[in-house]
Structure 1
Amino acid sequence: MIKFIQDIFYKMGLIVKLVRPDNNLWLQQRNIKTVLDVGANTGQFANLIHKILPQANIISFEPIKKCYNQLLQNTASLNIKTYNCALGETDEMQEINISAHSPSSSLLPMTKLHNEVFAGTNFVETESITVKTLDLLFAELPIKGKFMIKVDVQGFEDKVIKGGAETFKKADCVLIETSFVELYEGQLLFDGIYQMLVGLGFEFKGNYTQTKSKEDGSIIYAESFFVNKNQL
């Protein structure tokens, strides 16, 4: 039944991610007290991580105004602090490309491959947004205890890391979307993200979820989990 529902949404251009494994004791035992949710969209991850780590406070970043307003509504009952901005390498204003399927919106141009693989996710408009660096924001963030960073920013992952390198060094662990094919023009693929995080003291522990091509079954992208060896 789950596979049937996934297929229906996939044909509509929607991407359904399943959390595997269902047993999240391995994450709960890390004693995470704060989660930085970078690329929050409308609160999907915030609500999911609240179920897994109900005692953790959440700090979410979402730049698109419409999505941000929905984020506020969808997380009203959570212990959460929200920021209506993107995170990147420098503090600036940028134009973000908004997709017909909002989670596919990106500061980078979309490749032809993305449109072919995920039908119905084409860009439909742009919006001027604020981009901030995580390191400059760090001092004002209500971080308590050990913290985790989740990054899902459609090809902009390396910019988030570059603008937040010192913050990443302090994090206990990182859950980050990594691509194995270029879905956005100029994005850094898995190998590049891996090298960046290893250089900051992290160790790759595996993929939390994976999304495969319905054409040939190849892995397109994943949510990759890294642990900070210096924080063990």
Structure 2
Amino acid sequence: MTPVRRLLEMMADPGPQATGPATRGLQSLASEYLCHHHIGEMLDLYRVNCVFDVGANVGQFAGELRELGYTGRIVSFEPASAAFAQLSRAAAGDPDWQVHQLALGREERAGFIHTGWDTMNSLLAPSDYGRGRYERFTETRTEAVRVRRLADVIDEALAGVDEPRPFLKMDTQGYDLEVFKGAGDRTGDFVGLVSEVALLPLYEGCPPMSEAVAEYQAAGFEVTGLYSVSRESTTGRVVEFDCVMMRARAAPEPGWGD
């Protein structure tokens, strides 16, 4: 079930005790709903015709884009074998949704991904804070994966797309900045991006939000939206944000393409 449908169901029937965890769940879904609709609006505004879905898991983000009406190409990257099998099945009936069993990073190499963490599989080990927050991090398996540079897969992904205007979605559990740096000079090809940025790092080596956003801004992207992904129930502190950024100079002139 997509976040949109879950949110509508909870709003229609929040239950007699819509407080505490139930309220926090509703807030989380509302934030996700607003984020995805904002991204859909940006894809339309910037005439995006190819979305790079990095850290696709089982295809939730791509499925949400289709539900929102995006009809352009989607190219999904997911290294973990179990998640990739589900992703492949999800994309099977969609001729303009490509899937690749790959991780992306700063350099081409062989690597290992920590698995068994549901949607939170990562190339990075959990931090002390992460282990204290999520019981799932206490047990882990690792799986060998191939890591490639984004710069080396862009042309193949865009082959056949007329006047490509790509958007980069990253959700790699602490590894987004490594993915971005692997684009090198090709970051200028993208009209926008969304990245999960951390205020309280769940993974060892995950850069703080300030560092990640500064790197994206230095490459010409500007913030258009920030949406909380998770927060501490005991303190209210935000753990992570989804940060949507666009290259304002890439916005089409009125009437462009009409």
TM-score scaled to structure 2, two decimals? 0.80
Distance in 2 (alpha carbons) for counterparts of 1:57 and 1:209? 27
Q: 1:104 aligns with which of 111, 120, 125?
A: 120
Q: 2:97 aligns with which of 63, 68, 80?
A: 80
Distance 1:204 1:125, change over 3 A: same
1:18-41 Cα distance to aligned partner (Å, 9 max, x none): 321675463233221110000000
List runs of 5+ in structure 1 lacking aligned partners. none
* Counterpart position of 2:111: 94
Give me the identity figure in percent: 22
Q: Does the Cα contact within 8 Å between 2:36 and 2:64 map onto a contact in 1?
A: no
Is 1:206 the equivalent of 2:235? Answer: no
Moved over 4 A (4+): 2-6, 21-25
Is 1:60 the equivalent of 2:79? Answer: no
Counterpart of 2:229 in 1: which secondary structure? strand
Q: Which has the higher strand share?
A: 1
**Which amino acid letter does the alignment assign opposite residue 178 of structure 2?**
K
Task: State how many pairs are aligned.
Answer: 227
Q: Give 1:177-192 correspondences, 5 Å limit.
A: 177-192=196-211
Is 1:165 the equivalent of 2:184? Answer: yes
* Counterpart position of 2:240: 221
Distance 1:23 1:6, change over 3 A: farther
Larger mean CA deviation between 171-180 and 73-82 belongs to 73-82
Q: Does the Cα contact within 8 Å between 1:19 and 1:209 map onto a contact in 2?
A: no
Measure how far apart 1:130 and its partner are: 0.2
Report the structure number with the largest CA radius of gyration.
2
**Which amino acid letter does the alignment assign opposite residue 130 of structure 2?**
H
1:36-59 Cα distance to aligned partner (Å, 9 max, x none): 000000111110112224311100
Q: Does the Cα contact within 8 Å between 1:20 and 1:209 map onto a contact in 2?
A: no
Q: Does the Cα contact within 8 Å between 1:210 and 1:221 map onto a contact in 2?
A: yes
Q: Does the Cα contact within 8 Å between 1:105 and 1:123 map onto a contact in 2?
A: no
Distance in 2 (alpha carbons) for counterparts of 1:212 and 1:226? 21
Q: Does the Cα contact within 8 Å between 2:35 and 2:225 map onto a contact in 1?
A: no
1:3-28 Cα distance to aligned partner (Å, 9 max, x none): 769947x99xxx86732167546323
Counterpart of 1:18 in 2: which secondary structure? helix
Distance 1:87 1:6, change over 3 A: farther
* Counterpart position of 1:174: 193
Distance in 1 (alpha carbons) for counterparts of 2:86 and 2:127? 27
**Which amino acid letter does the alignment assign opposite residue 86 of structure 1?**
A
TM-score scaled to structure 1, two decimals? 0.88
Q: Which has the higher helix share?
A: 2
Distance 1:44 1:22, change over 3 A: closer
Q: Does the Cα contact within 8 Å between 2:46 and 2:250 map onto a contact in 1?
A: no
Q: Does the Cα contact within 8 Å between 1:32 and 1:53 map onto a contact in 2?
A: no
Q: Does the Cα contact within 8 Å between 2:91 and 2:99 map onto a contact in 1?
A: no
